Structure 1
Amino acid sequence: MLLRIITGIVGIAAAAFVIQTGGEVFAGFTLLLMFLAWFEYARAFAERGMGIALFTGFIALGLMWYAAWQRPEFLALACPLIIMVMLLESVLLRGGTSILDALASGAGLIYIGFPFACLLLLRNLMPETVFTTEIGTFTFGNAFVWIMFIGTWASDTFAYFTGTAIGRHKLCPSISPNKTIEGFMGSLLGTTAVVAGLGYFLNLPLEEMAVLGLLIAILATLGDLVESVAKRYVGIKDSGNIIPGHGGVWDRFDSVLFTAPLVYYFVQFVNLMGK
């Protein structure tokens, strides 16, 4: 437990530095996380004897990252192109790549690559809009990256403590035996309150921010369950051990893979600054 706490503190400090610095530092760190999560995904499915396109995947992720970093208008083109290339591998490399391998590779690349691309897009969003607060100045994208991470962490924290205290009814016992309905309800209420509170702190509309908090709690839980399904399928407990006491990058960012696209598209379609 002590190792887990120490690693968590160091991780939060490192995340704060990267998020606040932005620019090339944030972009480079995003690419590193994409690569590490993809490596863990490919290694996990190799446990089932599947031939995931590891090195082709690194190239595909680099393409998605470059599109998000330099040419966002091409990201929508990069995603279907990656799927097509993965499927073509089953034709061109029939001896070594099955159609199931190709499908698992393509799905994994979108599952991992697109959310991290959205995270990069979110951090660079509306740099001309600035929030001035008692603790510092934040650009729009900077603030909403924090909102996404804090909301995701709040969801996990409220679910854990509420479930530990009063959890009685299993949420998805065949997938994640420790999750309870009571913990999920605690996550919904707690995350909604936390994100609404952040909205109040930044002078953003409370109703819309409360809705965002509710959606973050739902998507964070689903993201965690999706990884649990995958790990049960391949027969592993943790995706890796690169983060002492916390497992792998995929383990730590399983919920973010769902909440990052949510927050990015939410702020695109909901007018938060016009109220």
Structure 2
Amino acid sequence: MLWKRILSAVVGIPVVLYVIYQGELPFLAFVMLASVIGMREYSNILVNSQVKLDGSDFKLLYFSAVLMPLAAFFSIEVLFAAFISLIGLILIKGILSYPDQDMNKTGTIAMGIIYPSLLISFLVLLRQIPEVGVEYIILVLVVTWASDTGAYFTGMSLGRSKLAPKLSPKKTIEGAIGGVIAAVLAVIVMNMFTFSFHLAIAIAIGGLGSVAAQLGDLYESMLKRIAGIKDSGNVIPGHGGVLDRLDSLLLVAPVIYYMLVLI
């Protein structure tokens, strides 16, 4: 219902902005909570998809949801050390469990460690950047919001050609282009007041960020289609689950992080 969406936004947005501003442990705790809830939703998707995982598999997934953001709090080197260690655990478990642990099961667990645990941890990496961490997190939110909004309204008014008809029938190529343009314009405007990127860099951040946002949205749509569910969860009244709200942002964060590192 619309009133639930509005109420969730009125309550949720100030809370999100507060923890972003606070940074450090409050922001880490917030991301870890989102990671754990997102992993619960991912696990439910697996159950609905009839992927046969045992209790130790789910424990490993939840462990990764806590470990990855915590590792990112220290550095990207620690994050990837944690990631490689978890992948190693999957391989060891697969060897010891053979022939029960097939390739599909191993790949599903590995993907769970990447999505959402690894991807969401880039928010922590961005926030930990001295002096500009808050601005970089806001940049991720702006790119994601502008891309989603631009794609929605352009698709509604001009959409004719289906982008992925079997996966998401309402999404159009025109809407996707509108999302890219909206994200680019939003970054250019933000750049005028907050950053000092070269115009080409601002355009690249907006353009590539929008592409990442739309891919993230489509990927989660694919997961829900496979599982036969409408929403990933119901933790946010009127908005569905955490993955429903973060699907676009999960890919935008690492893309912007690496673009900023290269800059």
Question: Structure 1 length normalisation: TM-score?
Answer: 0.89
* CA shift digits 1:24-69 (9 cap, x unpaired): 1000001111111111001111112223422111222322222211
Pick from 73, 83, 86: which aligns with 1:82?
86
Pick from 223, 227, 244: which aligns with 1:230?
223
Tell me how far apart the structure 2 counterparts of residues 114 and 201 of structure 1 sit (CA, whole Å): 31
1:158 partnered with 2:150 = yes
Tell me how far apart the structure 2 counterparts of residues 122 and 236 of structure 1 sit (CA, whole Å): 32
Alpha-carbon contact 1:152-1:217 (below 8 Å) kept? yes
Query: Where does structure 2 lack aligned partners over 5 or more consecutive residues?
Result: none
Query: Where does structure 1 lack aligned partners over 5 or more consecutive residues?
Result: 128-138, 271-275
AA partner of residue 105 (structure 1): I
Partner of 2:171, secondary structure, is strand
Alpha-carbon contact 1:18-1:26 (below 8 Å) kept? yes
1:93, distance to aligned residue in structure 2 (A): 3.6
Moved more, 97-106 or 109-118: 97-106
Tell me how far apart the structure 1 counterparts of residues 242 and 100 of structure 2 sit (CA, whole Å): 28
Tell me how far apart the structure 2 counterparts of residues 249 and 201 of structure 1 sit (CA, whole Å): 31
1:111, distance to aligned residue in structure 2 (A): 2.1
Tell me how far apart the structure 2 counterparts of residues 9 and 157 of structure 1 sit (CA, whole Å): 18
1:98, distance to aligned residue in structure 2 (A): 3.9
Q: What does residue 118 of structure 1 align with?
A: 122
1:249, distance to aligned residue in structure 2 (A): 0.5
| Identity, % of aligned positions | 36
Alpha-carbon contact 2:167-2:225 (below 8 Å) kept? yes
Pick from 170, 179, 199: which aligns with 1:178?
170
Alpha-carbon contact 1:86-1:106 (below 8 Å) kept? yes
1:167 partnered with 2:122 = no
1:95, distance to aligned residue in structure 2 (A): 7.7
How many residues are treated as equivalent by the alignment? 258
Alpha-carbon contact 1:51-1:96 (below 8 Å) kept? no
* CA shift digits 1:159-208 (9 cap, x unpaired): 11111112111111111111011111111111100011101111412321
Moved more, 66-75 or 113-122: 66-75
Alpha-carbon contact 1:115-1:256 (below 8 Å) kept? no
Pick from 68, 75, 85: which aligns with 1:64?
68
AA partner of residue 114 (structure 2): I
Change (3 A) 1:219 1:70: same
Tell me how far apart the structure 1 counterparts of residues 186 and 155 of structure 2 sit (CA, whole Å): 18
Partner of 2:49, secondary structure, is coil
Question: Structure 2 length normalisation: TM-score?
Answer: 0.93
1:267, distance to aligned residue in structure 2 (A): 0.6
AA partner of residue 33 (structure 1): A
* CA shift digits 1:67-125 (9 cap, x unpaired): 21125422222222212212332333458654322210111111211112111010011
1:140 partnered with 2:132 = yes
Give RMSD over aligned pairs. Answer: 1.6
Q: What does residue 27 of structure 1 align with?
A: 28
Partner of 1:155, secondary structure, is helix
Partner of 1:16, secondary structure, is helix
Q: What does residue 211 of structure 1 align with?
A: 204
Partner of 2:52, secondary structure, is coil
